[in-house]
Structure 1
């Protein structure tokens, strides 16, 4: 998936958080420390998600693809995250509906429409009946990284 955008240091496996707010705080701190985002990223991410939710009702499990505007990004990235337990997440285009989300692909792009191609690739991958089981069964960050790398695009 998107050569160079997914790196092993951004993979989070079985991350323990209770809400999107906790997830965003953890990831924005980590990404800022690693030099991927500006200090403004965390607040921008939370605001964008509140305005434009990003959970997708994929089957057999929903996934979310949160991102902030390009002005908050220093280096482009894709951070693949598997949560220890699903958290409620509002559906993209229908924020009256929530889904339990365990798989998150946090995106950061320096171009305004950079996320569109990744979204398309993830939607295609989610059609594969082995996609979510492969992500779910990864026993380590290394295996999860390999499973994400297998996504075409």
Structure 2
């Protein structure tokens, strides 16, 4: 986890603007290729990543490892909800509060990472704590402890 890939109280007009911002930040950090944004956007249309996790809803946009230079997670807390399609029902829109953009370099690590993230997403109090964090370091420390376990 890198603190420079954690963004607090962001405001975006729509999903594409949010995905572009986060993709650009990952590219600036040399974590992903120039193709990353288009690939994430394209994948999101076919395989939505919005999750109805209760009061605090999340999205986990990601794409194929061929667009990734090295593994990373970018996190954005949103001051206004951004619509994502529901992973479970693509006809339904979900206004998400938190976005965890994944840059997965090794396909074998994707499933274990998603399992760890799902345990985070099922912890309602932790999601609230992340959403209401006042610093990127707070989020970084919370997630590092949980993802390393």
TM-score for both structures, normalised by structure 2: 0.91
1:65 correspondence with 2:56? no
Distance 1:128 1:41 in 2: 30
Q: Kindly report which structure 2 residues correspond to 1:40-119, keeping only aligned pairs within 5 A, or say none.
A: 40-119=35-114
Q: What stretches of structure 1 of length at least 5 have no aligned partner?
A: 1-5
SS in 2 for 1:35: coil
Q: What stretches of structure 2 of length at least 5 have no aligned partner?
A: none
Q: What is the root-mean-square deviation in Å for CA atoms of aligned residues?
A: 1.5
Greater helix content: 2
Range moving further from structure 2, 34-43 or 120-129: 120-129
Distance 1:51 1:88 in 2: 15
Distance 1:133 1:62 in 2: 10
How many pairs align?
148
Cα shift at 1:113:
4.4
TM-score for both structures, normalised by structure 1: 0.88
Quick one: structure 1 residues 129 and 28, their matched pair in 2 at CA, closer, same or farther if it must change by over 3 Å? Answer: closer
Aligned equivalent of 1:127 = 122
